[in-house]
Amino acid sequence: MSSFTHTSAVQRIYEQHHSWLNGWLKGKLHNACDAADVAHDTFVRILVSRNAMQIREPRDYLTTIARGLVIDRYRRRAIEAAYLEALAARPEVTEISEEDKAVVIETLVAVDKTLASLGARVQKIFMLSQVEGLSYQQIADELSLSLTTVKKYMVRAFTECSLIMAGL
């Protein structure tokens, strides 16, 4: 499909459904600025996807993308709040630039997303190891798994997390 055809399809969908999507998001988010941001990001996703010509039910498609973006937004805010809370709880005063905060939060969001994609068991094992400080053997005992299984899942989690770090 030509770039012009794709762009024209996105423009048509935008003209026909942007107001509706923005109103739907205002009802969900109760904030006009957040609604406008998510609506914008939704259309950016469609523009980048290069599949606008195949969209048969634009409102369903827009809703699906926007719903995912809203979930991502809430997840990011929760991670950001937890990070800022952890910083505030530190006994020493730590000055971190806004740029460094943004990089840390972006990294934490990417790690969270990656761990979620690996499944609940891998995520649980990773958190027990890295957050709770349990040894692999303690994790194996607590979850009634073999030590080999715990090691295998940790290698998988570390591999995926290192790929994230390489991409940032």
For the chain, domain boundaries: 1-95, 96-168
Give the pLDDT score at 15: 95
Residue ranges of the chain with per-residue pLDDT less than 70: 1-2, 167-168
Cα pseudo-dihedral 144, 145, 146, 152, rounded to 10: -160
Backbone angles phi, psi at 5, to 5 degrees: -65, -45
Name the H helices within 90-146. Answer: 98-118, 120-130, 136-143
Query: Which token pair is 100?
Result: 């460094």
Query: Which token pair is 84?
Result: 């800022």
Instruction: Quickly name the fold that domain 96-168 has.
Output: Arc Repressor Mutant, subunit A (1.10.10)
Give the pLDDT score at 132: 87
Give the pLDDT score at 81: 92
DSSP designation for 90:
S
